[in-house]
Every structure is written in structure tokens, then in C-alpha cells.
Amino acid sequence: MSTIALDRGVRHGFSLAWRGILKIRKNPEQLADVTIAPIVFLVMFTYLFGGALAGNTDAYLQMLVPGILVMNILQASMTAGVQLNTDVSKGVFDRFRAMPITRSAPLIGAVLADVVRYVVCILVLLVVATVMGFRVQTGPAELLIAVGLALAFGLCFCWASVFVGMLLKTPQAVQGVMFVLIMPLTFGSNVFVGTSTMPGWLKAWADISPVTLMADALRGLLNGGAIAGPLAGSLIWMVAAVAVFFPLAMWAYRRRV
Amino acid sequence: MSLAIRAEGLVKHYGETKALDGVDLEVPEGKVVGVLGPNGAGKTTAVRVLATLLRPDAGRATVHGHDVVKNPREVRSLIGLTGQYASVDEDLSGRENLVLLARLLDFSRAGARAKAAELLEQFELTDAAGRAAKTYSGGMRRRLDLAASLVGNPSVLYLDEPTTGLDPHARNEVWAVVRKLVANGVTVLLTTQYLEEADQLADTITVFDHGRVVAEGRPDELKRRVGGQTLQVRPTSARDLDVVHRILGDLTGVRPTRDDDTGLLTAPVNDPVLLSTLVRKLDEAGITADELALRLPSLDEVFLALTGKREGSLV
């Protein structure tokens, strides 16, 4: 692809991202599942189990918030597939396809609009957490890096969702499959409880799960503590996710569109 | 005259179903060709192939000389497409829809806004420009859809059943727009289920059935083959049936068909003026009618006349 074509593709992607953002603004309820659900988890786990698990709710909150952030971003990144699946079955997608634009522009647009969704989710979660008593123990620079890392994590794993979204027929099916994938992925980690009391097979997985490693990296950045190890592990997972799911997503997208 | 669209031997199968079974189609530049046929005749499939949305299994098609399979980008820069169902983003306003499409066609920000404003004005949507498209009436939505397909100033326009589901008023609006476009030199390929629509807009009509072209010609030629219009009368009182039967027979010179169950009398006519003559005669005789109409042959009758079989029959 020549530079000019690439440039046009990105520009068309931005135009279509603008469309996605307009749609989020007009249907803010789209964001409900990715903003309200994590808050419910945050409140429920902190006040119900926090005392029992960490001695007091404040200490548990400090541990939980970075973990919930990962769960949140993972859920938000999974809506990309549902959205694209809904979109391709609509007449407006035929119009895009009959226009002289790059074939991948709608995909680029959907993923770029997703970034806005991630930012909103992260902000809402951090505000609620702060109201509940969560405090960043490090500094603004670490907070920014943590947010950036969470965005990157979402952008890497959204390709899995795009792949499933382009493979399955209906948005409902995509939603169902993604839910079944995400629930065990987030609970089979150290987001809610430490892994030490888990049975061996589960602990073995939970210790190396991308959710655990990313949660630990964010804990290090927001609460202080080891960063390098979990960060390196997270980055390996992110690269692997892109390496596996980006080509699959593109293949499924080109087949469908 | 040069051809805007040329299709030769287009074939498209969906499993056992032959959506297109060797279709040839030629649309001269600046003309309107109407593709007439029932649901499932292959009209939409043909449009989708010509709009680069679908690859044919066999055959080839060009738009202004560009092959739809080999050079889709060139074809896409020449065409506008208005689908059977409004293909605009329902959540976006009319203006946002048009600005988005203009931006995708490489208009500058200011240029896109100006183009959107111009089209909204032209299609009388300025007052509704800020409202979400899903709040539009059927006619407004179809007008927005048409406006959307004109953002790139296409020289070839595909209208896939542009008035299906519209009320007569909205339908007339769409027709007026299409006439204006044709006057400006745009080539139009129109698919429709209505003979009247093809008759109103098209220079030539191609009739599809089961993925094949079964008839072709100017509207008047086809109508002659199909047979003209019919006059239908239903007297208010069944007692008047005999009198009206005689009046209608004298007027048309044909023995009218009589249905005693429904009280409906039907006779073929060549001259539409006979309708007003009939009204006057009934008036003079002091007879009132519940139903009095001049009707065009239905698509079913067109098919029967052109193909010698009922539409949808498998033989």
C-alpha cells in the first residue's frame, strides 16, 4: 500500500471513528454495561468481602481498583465485535462498501471509537473509586502511564472480539460467546482474591493470566511496588494477543465485508 | 451512443438457487433503464453485482468501461447507490450522515458542510437536518437516502426499488427527484415491482424473471404486448348491474366481465377518456357507484402476458 493510500485509509478511519463517537454520545446507554457493571462489582466486593479478605475495606479497595480496571477495559474492548457485527448487517455498511474508500476503514474507525469508550470507562471507575476512598499512592505521571497501559491492553485484546464478531452471525451470539470467555478470564485471576488458596491447576493459570499480570502492573503503578516483572509479562501477552487475533480478525473481516 | 453500463452473461448462484442465470444488460449514457420483476427475480442481485458489492460467478460487467470485479475502486468513484431499505445511519442526523459521506469522499471539512447544506436544501430536508434519521418519515428517509447517494456527484445511479413501501405522495416526490437528476445527465438503473413506475421513469424496460431477462423494450411497446388498461365499476345497488353492464358494453364495444358475487364489472379500454364518459352516462342514468376505476395491468398480468405463466410458478 502506498503512503497516500495509507494516509487516506487512516483519514477515512478517523471520519468513521467520528461517526462512532457521535453514536456513543447519542446513545449513552451503550456505555451502561461497561460502566455500571464494574461499579456494582467494586461496591459489592469492597463492602461485602473486603473486610473478610483483606482485614478492612480500605486495604481491599486499594488492591481491587487496579484489578477492576483491567476487567473493565477487557469488557469494554469486547463490545467492538458486537458493534461491528451489528453494523455490517445494516444498509449503511453497503453504502460504505460501495464507496471508493479503503476496505479496512470501517474497522479502523470502530477500533478508534473504542478508545473513547475505554477512556470514559476508566474515568468513571476512577471517580467512583476516589469517592469510595481509593487514593493513588504514587504520582500523576504513574497514573497517566497506568491509564495509557490500560488503553493499550484494550486495543490489543479487542481483536479477539472483532474476530468473534466477524465469525458469528448475530450480535446476540457474539455477546454470549464473549461473556462466556470473559467471566472465567477475569475471575480466574488475582483481581478479587489472591491466588494462594486456589487449587494447583487454577493457581498455575491465574498466576500467569494476562488479567493477573496487568492487574499487578497497575497495582505497582498506582499503589507502589514491583512493576517490571508483571509489566514484562503483560506486554508479552499483549503482543501475543495482537499476533494471534489481528490476522484472524482481518481474515474474518475481509471474508464478511 | 456510448454505454454507461454493460453486463454480459452475469451468473450468480446461492446454493441451488440461481439468482442470476445469464443476464445481459445495457444502459446507454444519460438514459434510464427500468428493471421490472417480482420479488426474487434477481433485480437486487444484479444491482449488487453492478455496484461491486457482490462478485458474479460468471460473466462480466463494466461501468463506463471499468470492470466491476477488476477495478472496483474506479467503479465506486462513478456510482451512487440507493438501496431497497434506507441505507443511512439511523442514529445520526440528516446533516451528520451527509457530512460523514462527504468526508469519506475526501471533501474538506468546510466543503463537506457546504455539500451537506446544498443537498439538504435540494431535498427539502433543511428543517429536519439536525434530527436523527430514525425520526424521519418514510418519504423523508428515502429522500435522505437519495441525497446520500448523490454526495459524490455520481454519473451512474442505482435505485433499487426506490419507492417500495412509500405512500403515493412520497412516491411522487421521489419520482420528481429522479426526473431532475436525469435532466442533469445522470444515468439511472432503476429496479421496481411496479409497471407504472417503470412506465413513468424509464426510457427502456427490462423484465426479469427467475434470474433471466424475459422481455425488453420501450414502455409503450411492452404495454401494447401486455394489453392496455381496464375500467372497473361496482354499482352501489346490485339492481343496477344489468343497466351498467349495458352502458359499459356500449362504451367499450366489448362485453364486460361480470362478477355477480362482488358486483364488479370489468372491461378493457384503449382510451382513458372513456372514464369520464362513463361517469357522465352513469350520472345521466341516475346510478351511483361504490367503485369506479381505471387500472393498469398488475405485475401479475404483465408476467402472464410476457412469459405466458403466472409469476412465481416453477415451470
Question: Measuring CA to CA, how many Å separate A109 from each of A14, B151, B271, B273?
Answer: 6, 20, 59, 59
Asked if B187 and B268 sit in the same domain, the reply is no
pLDDT tier at A4 (50, 70, 90 boundaries)?
low
A98: nearest CB among B53, B85, B86: B53
End-to-end CA distance of chain B: 38
| Mean pLDDT to the nearest integer, B111-126 | 94
The interface residues of chain B toward chain A in range 59-78, judged by CB-CB distance below 8 A, are 73, 76-77
The interface residues of chain A toward chain B in range 124-163, judged by CB-CB distance below 8 A, are none
Task: Tell me whether residue B305 is in a domain.
Answer: no
| Structural domain ending residue among the three candidates B225, B242, B265 | B225
- At B312 the pLDDT is 47
Residue B87 forms contact with A (CB below 8 Å): yes
Number of cross-chain residue pairs from A and B with Cβ atoms under 8 Å apart: 65
- C-alpha angle B202/B206/B208, rounded to 5°? 135
Task: Tell me whether residue B253 is in a domain.
Answer: yes
Q: Which of A95, A96, A102, A255 to mutate to test the interface with B (most CBs of B within 10 A)?
A: A95
Q: Is the pLDDT of residue A186 over 50?
A: yes
Asked if B237 and B123 sit in the same domain, the reply is no
Task: Tell me whether residue B268 is in a domain.
Answer: yes
Task: Tell me whether residue B7 is in a domain.
Answer: yes
Residues of A in contact with B148 (CB under 8 A): 95
Asked if B71 and B144 sit in the same domain, the reply is yes
Residue B89 forms contact with A (CB below 8 Å): yes
Asked if B72 and B205 sit in the same domain, the reply is yes
Question: Measuring CA to CA, how many Å separate B37 from each of A116, B216, B310?
Answer: 47, 12, 12
Task: Tell me whether residue B310 is in a domain.
Answer: no
- At A2 the pLDDT is 53
- At A214 the pLDDT is 96
CB atoms within 10 A of CB B182: 18
The angle, 0 to 180 degrees and rounded to 10, between the axes of the packed helices B168-183 and B138-149 is: 20
Asked if B150 and B251 sit in the same domain, the reply is no
Instruction: Write out pLDDT tens, residues A78-102.
Output: 888 988 898 888 878 888 988 998 8
Instruction: Write out pLDDT tens, residues B123-141.
Output: 889 999 999 999 998 888 8
Highest mean pLDDT among A4-18, B128-142, B253-267, B293-307: B128-142
- Average pLDDT score over chain A: 90
Instruction: Write out pLDDT tens, residues B75-89.
Output: 999 999 987 766 889
| Structural domain ending residue among the three candidates B167, B194, B225 | B225
Q: Which of B45, B47, B89 to mutate to test the interface with A (most CBs of A within 10 A)?
A: B89
- At B299 the pLDDT is 63
Q: Do B91 and A27 touch (CB under 8 A)?
A: yes
Asked if B47 and B170 sit in the same domain, the reply is yes
Domain with B73 in it: what CATH number? Answer: 3.40.50.300
Task: Tell me whether residue B304 is in a domain.
Answer: no
Asked if B106 and B191 sit in the same domain, the reply is yes
Q: Do B104 and A101 touch (CB under 8 A)?
A: yes
User: Domain residues for B203?
Assistant: 3-225
Distance from CA of B54 to the nearest CA of A (A): 10
Domain count, chain B: 2
The stretches of chain A forming alpha helices (DSSP H) are: 3-26, 32-44, 50-54, 57-88, 91-97, 105-132, 140-167, 171-187, 200-208, 210-223, 228-256
Asked if B151 and B235 sit in the same domain, the reply is no
Q: Is the pLDDT of residue B290 over 50?
A: yes
Please give the residue of chain A at the shortest CA–CA distance from B84: A91
Distance from CA of B307 to the nearest CA of A (A): 33
The answer to whether B197 and B190 have CB atoms below 8 angstroms apart is yes
Looking at chain A, the whole-number percentage of residues with pLDDT higher than 70 is 98
- Average pLDDT score over chain B: 88
- What does the H/E/C string look like for B248-286? HHHHHCCCCEEECCCCEEEEEECCCCHHHHHHHHHHHCC
B89: nearest CB among A12, A92, A97: A92
Asked if B159 and B120 sit in the same domain, the reply is yes
Q: Do B53 and A91 touch (CB under 8 A)?
A: no
Burial of A184 (0-12, 13-18, 19+ CB in 10 A): exposed
- At B313 the pLDDT is 43
CB atoms within 10 A of CB A150: 26
End-to-end CA distance of chain A: 19
ipTM surpasses 0.90? no
| Structural domain ending residue among the three candidates B203, B225, B247 | B225
Asked if B163 and B272 sit in the same domain, the reply is no
Separation CA B236–CA B287 (nearest Å): 8
Strand order in the sheet with B212-217: B79-82, B156-160, B187-192, B32-36, B204-209, B212-217
Q: Do A99 and B105 touch (CB under 8 A)?
A: yes
B87: nearest CB among A15, A94, A100: A94
Task: Tell me whether residue B18 is in a domain.
Answer: yes
Residue-range domain boundaries for chain A: 3-256
Task: Tell me whether residue B306 is in a domain.
Answer: no
The answer to whether B79 and B63 have CB atoms below 8 angstroms apart is yes
